[in-house]
Amino acid sequence: MISRREILGSAAVLVGASAVSGRAQAASIPEAPTSTATTMQPPLVPTSGPDYQPVVTLNGWTLPWRMNGDWKEFHLVAEPVVRELAPGMVAHLWGYNGQSPGPTIEAVEGDKVRIFVTNKLPEHTTIHWHGILLPSGMDGVGGLTQPHIKPGKTFVYEFVLTKSGTFMYHPHADEMVQMAMGMMGFLVVHPRDPAFRRVDRDFVFLMSAYDIDPGTYLPKVAEMTAFNMWTWNSRVFPGIDHIVAGKGDKVRIRFGNLTMTNHPIHMHGYDFKVSCTDGGWVPEAAAWPEVTVDCAVGQMRAFDFVADNPGDWAIHCHKSHHTMNAMGHDIRNFVGMKKSDLVKSVRKLVPEYMPMGNAGMADMGEMEMPLPENTLPMMTGFAQFGAVEMGGMFSVVKVREGLASGDYKDPGWFKHPEGKVSYEWKGESKAVERGPPAASDKTKAIELNVVKPGKQSPHRNH
């Protein structure tokens, strides 16, 4: 649900805006829409100006704007937010307009944009427009290209969008804290030509990571490696929206990486072509086929495919620890160990003790065990055939026949055609050969001549 903020009228806010802009028309600040919804909001279809296919933000929304003369005006509010990572766990983050990440900004190549940024954080901030070509003074690096935006102040960024593509925004002020707290958002610039590289469905998400101990709500902002929540748009499986497409649709999936490591994003059921990077569009003749595309820190990638293979297809980071939640980094490996004697001893002290891990960790995906406050199971989620045993950066691409062009609702689980699901073999089992026959006892042994250090072999040449 999107509401309106009443933040007009503050003399300090107006002075902050006009001091940066120097334009009379900047003295009137547009309202700042806000949303706390955790599910995908409908795309914001343009009603004027150039036509384009709007993007859909997983578990998010697109920021509305107003036209002021020939300027397209947006208003972002940097502020503390509460974000549900998945049902059962929330995090106290920083973001924009009620959410982390902030709302997606959409515009068109050649647009003149004016973006108001109001700071409601307890410390100063800025915004850097990552990948956008613009004047140096609008680049958003605190202290270097502009004064910091102090708490309670509003600054204005003005620039012309000289090229289309896939970009993002984030602070360049106290970055270790502010980005670790979830301050980021997507910025999509559509081509001026509505027919250029057009698709039927266009999805976006940003990757971020958090280390949040069970029973707590704040990320550890100084963490560099041991994260336990790997998120798309600050959500984890099973809380990440599904990507829904109709059979025959041309689909684009765009993503950016603001974690501390790279992510190889893999999609099942399809090969696709990498169509766009943060540097711009890949010429169609040069777009390369993949089933997995790596996205390094600070990069953005987009790939296109034609949804011609109906089904439920996994899409996920291929680093296996990034598809788990609430990971314990000191878990012992008990695979293959016999723990029967240990279990008898432990149960004398803890009668409810259950041994786990000696046959792998899959049993954790099916158990509904009590958890500490405000955390999630490491392996979770259920589908039509049982436990999915996933978490973190994992979702499902759902391709269906007969889907209307504007229909993004979850169509439920795929109804597989008869005989098209893997099944248990119940026929006769044949003996399994365990390898080549053993060597004959008459095999001649190999003779080795061992020479002690300092002794010369009798066969050594001088």
Which DSSP string do the residues of 274-327 spell out, in sequence order? EEEETTEEPPTTT--EESEEEE-TT-EEEEEEE--S-EEEEEEESSGGGG-BS-
Quick one: 379 exposed, middle or buried, by C-beta within 10 A (0-12, 13-18, 19+)? buried
Report the largest interatomic distance among the alpha carbons of the chain, rounded to a whole angstrom.
Answer: 101
Residue written as token pair 């314990």: 328
Tell me the pLDDT band of 213, cut-offs 50, 70 and 90. Answer: very high
Which tens digit of pLDDT belongs to each residue from 14-31? 333 334 444 445 458 999
Q: What is the mean pLDDT of residues 266-285?
A: 96
pLDDT of 50 reads 92
Tell whether the model's pLDDT for residue 284 goes beyond 70: yes
pLDDT of 352 reads 62
Tell whether the model's pLDDT for residue 7 goes beyond 50: no
Tell whether the model's pLDDT for residue 446 goes beyond 90: no
Which tens digit of pLDDT belongs to each residue from 133-178? 999 999 999 999 999 999 999 999 999 999 999 999 999 999 999 9
The CATH H-level superfamily of 2-317 is Cupredoxins -  blue copper proteins (2.60.40.420)
DSSP3 helix / strand / coil % (the chain, rounded to 5): 10, 35, 55
> Hey, where are the domains in the chain?
2-317
pLDDT of 102 reads 98
Which tens digit of pLDDT belongs to each residue from 215-226? 999 999 999 989
pLDDT of 457 reads 47
Question: Which token pair is 227?
Answer: 């994260």
Handedness of CA 349, 351, 353, 359 (dihedral sign): positive
Query: ω into residue 264 within 30 of 0, thus cis?
Result: no
